[in-house]
Amino acid sequence: METRRKLFIETYGCQMNFSDSQIVGSIMTDNNFETTNNIAEADLIFVNTCSIRDNAEKRVRARLQEYKRYKKLKPGLIIGVLGCMAERLKSQLMEEEKMVDVIVGPDAYRDLPRLLELAEGGQKAINVILSADETYADINPVRLDSNGVSAFISIMRGCENFCSYCVVPFTRGKERSRDPETIVNEAIDLFNTGYREVTLLGQNVNSYKSDDGTGFARLIERVALINPKLRVRFATSHPKDLSEELLKIMAAYPNICRSIHLPVQSGSDRMLKLMNRKYDRQWYMGRIEAIRSILPGCALSTDIITGFSSESEQDHQDTLGLMKWAAYDYAFMFKYSERPGTIAEKKYKDDISEEVKSQRLKEIIDLQQELSYRSNLADVGKTFEVLIESFSKKSGKELSGRTSQNKVVVFPKQDFKPGDYAEVKITACTSATLRGEAVIKPLNLL
Ligand code: SAH
Ligand code: SF4
Ligand code: F3S
């Protein structure tokens, strides 16, 4: 048998990118490569990149410098840049970073074998064509770094919301949804091979709409119906598309997890307008009220950008006020980073000083830490169904899993193993983790 060459693939950015790397893994495996975790033995290095903030790009550039070393040791080594930075910078990246042989945008991964052949012939190879319909629906992802319990399924690609600060509509192109049949079949296959949780992924997941008219609520219902022991999550929802219909379907199926990530970005109407988010504070609060009334006990998380163009102290206070009102269980919090080519870069000045951005971010993080701690403290004494994902990092005697609310729980192993469900009574917490003890012996669930 011909020996397979080795691909080392490193991924930055969002879950969509991690999911894309699995598609790339699959395409390469079909082309006589196998993936390796050992960079030193790689014949091919791919870095799947992110452009969302300047520091994401800086990190990749620093990594490329390190790859140079490996190229010196192994002259035939090929280096490819994939993903959003490839799309944003195109051939400019090759001019700036001489060690790069191949540049491939997020919609061109099917072309990788051809591009690689060109590179092996000593040419520089590039394909950054965006597509209106590519969804990679027929490609069965290679589950890299999987715990065998939870998996991602990409259900739609692209984004046309054009939030003024955001580079994604430029790097990911038009919104398109994958055929529902292929999604449901992928979830069934995962369940049959032992997976117990799927996360439906998209930049704007709840605006999913297939050619046959299936909307997101109906799709998630079909996935939830596969088996009550298959948990279903989704990310990321845009507040404008969070429908009552979806909340009602969630309420009807306990295996659709009680956790909604609903990025707010800012609590100030003036900022939301400049950001082109298409909702105002009142409307967003209405969505949260709907969640609270239809799905009691549902966890809420968010994304926040601080220091956007012209943000005043009052705007900042509005954000802190909204965070307290919403009592988020968790948040991702960022300093505004101006991105070339975006609407904000063209129209608004990046005029908040680094110092003020840092100070505001600190206040936001401190507040969130308190909110997360309070939320966890309220769980102490309660019992939750936990899906076990792995042995705890610190000790093989403990297991780590998640509640439906997406909170991490660590507890003594007993006879449980990853993939099992356990009823766990929470006994203690920090702002990041719950600790507890299983209250019943493991059941043979299947
Ligand atoms: N599609 C998702 C999120 C995509 S990016 C959504 O719309 O919610 C993830 C997060 O990165 C965003 O929610 C936003 O909070 C942050 N982000 C995007 N562009 C940014 C920028 N230019 N500077 C700082 N943070 C940014
Ligand atoms: Fe970016 Fe807005 Fe699209 Fe999210 S919805 S990816 S923030 S443009
Ligand atoms: Fe980054 Fe592209 Fe995702 S910019 S956040 S990898 S869509």
Span 267-286, pLDDT tens digits: 999 999 999 999 999 999 99
Atom 1 (ligand 3) nearest CA: 50
Pocket test for ligand 2, best of 161, 265, 332 (most atoms within 8 A of CB): 161
Structure confidence at residue 393 as a pLDDT band (50, 70, 90): confident
pLDDT in tens, 397-427: 999 999 999 999 999 999 999 999 999 999 9
- Decide if 267 contacts 368 (C-beta within 8 A): no
Query: Rounded to the nearest whole angstrom, what is the distance from the C-alpha of residue 52 to the centroid of ligand 1?
Result: 7
Structure confidence at residue 377 as a pLDDT band (50, 70, 90): very high
166 Cβ closer than 6 Å to some ligand 3 atom: no
414 Cβ closer than 6 Å to some ligand 2 atom: no
- Decide if 201 contacts 235 (C-beta within 8 A): yes
Instruction: Report the CATH fold assignment for 150-376.
Output: pyruvate-formate lyase- activating enzyme (3.80.30)
The structure tokens listed for 209 are 């709409």
Atom 18 (ligand 1) nearest CA: 166
CA 282/CA 292 separation, integer angstroms: 15
| pLDDT given for residue 146 in this prediction | 83
Which residue, chain included where needed, has tokens 């054009």? 162
Structure confidence at residue 441 as a pLDDT band (50, 70, 90): low
Backbone angles phi, psi at 323, to 5 degrees: -60, -45
CA 107/CA 171 separation, integer angstroms: 10
Strand partners, 421: 387
Atom 10 (ligand 1) nearest CA: 303
Domain with CATH 3.80.30.20 in the chain: 150-376
| Residue 316: exposure state from Cβ atoms within 10 A (0-12, 13-18, ≥19) | buried
| pLDDT given for residue 395 in this prediction | 75
Query: Rounded to the nearest whole angstrom, what is the distance from the C-alpha of residue 203 to the centroid of ligand 2?
Result: 7
The structure tokens listed for 159 are 């984004």
Closest ligand 2 atom, residue 203 Cα: 6
pLDDT in tens, 323-344: 999 999 999 999 999 999 999 9
Question: Mind giving me the DSSP string for 236-265?
Answer: ---GGG--HHHHHHHHH-TTB-SEEE---B
16 Cβ closer than 6 Å to some ligand 3 atom: yes
Pocket test for ligand 1, best of 302, 334, 345 (most atoms within 8 A of CB): 334
Question: ω into residue 236 within 30 of 0, thus cis?
Answer: yes
Is the confidence at residue 373, as pLDDT, over 60? yes
Please give the CATH superfamily to which domain 5-127 belongs.
Answer: Methylthiotransferase, N-terminal domain (3.40.50.12160)
CA 130/CA 176 separation, integer angstroms: 12
pLDDT in tens, 306-326: 999 999 999 999 999 999 999
Starting from the CA of residue 202, give the closest ligand.
1
Mean pLDDT of 38-67: 97
| pLDDT given for residue 440 in this prediction | 72
Is the confidence at residue 392, as pLDDT, over 90? no
CA 66/CA 394 separation, integer angstroms: 30
Minimal CA–CA distance to 159: which of 205, 216, 128, 213? 205
Atom 4 (ligand 2) nearest CA: 203
CA 413/CA 407 separation, integer angstroms: 18
Minimal CA–CA distance to 205: which of 158, 173, 252, 145? 158
Closest ligand 2 atom, residue 303 Cα: 7
pLDDT in tens, 157-172: 999 999 999 999 999 9
pLDDT in tens, 68-116: 999 999 989 999 999 999 999 999 999 999 999 999 999 999 999 999 9
Percent of the chain with pLDDT over 90: 95
| pLDDT given for residue 429 in this prediction | 98
Structure confidence at residue 442 as a pLDDT band (50, 70, 90): low
Is the confidence at residue 242, as pLDDT, over 70? yes
Domain with CATH 3.40.50.12160 in the chain: 5-127
Atom 2 (ligand 2) nearest CA: 163
Backbone angles phi, psi at 12, to 5 degrees: -120, 165
Is the confidence at residue 3, as pLDDT, over 90? no
Atom 15 (ligand 1) nearest CA: 303
pLDDT in tens, 115-142: 999 999 999 999 999 999 999 999 999 9
Mean pLDDT of 228-250: 96
Q: Long-range contacts: 115-122, Cβ < 8 Å, 24+?
A: 115/80, 116/31, 116/44, 116/78, 116/80, 119/78, 119/80, 120/78
Pocket test for ligand 2, best of 238, 271, 343 (most atoms within 8 A of CB): 238
272 Cβ closer than 6 Å to some ligand 2 atom: no
Domain with CATH 2.40.50.140 in the chain: 383-438
Atom 7 (ligand 1) nearest CA: 238
CA 129/CA 220 separation, integer angstroms: 31
The structure tokens listed for 289 are 């009220």
User: What mean pLDDT, rounded, does the chain reach?
Assistant: 96
Query: Rounded to the nearest whole angstrom, what is the distance from the C-alpha of residue 168 to the centroid of ligand 3?
Result: 6
Atom 5 (ligand 1) nearest CA: 52
Query: Who wins on pLDDT, 60 or 2?
Result: 60
Q: Where do the H-state alpha helices sit in 295-353? A: 313-326, 343-347
Instruction: Report the CATH fold assignment for 383-438.
Output: OB fold (Dihydrolipoamide Acetyltransferase, E2P) (2.40.50)
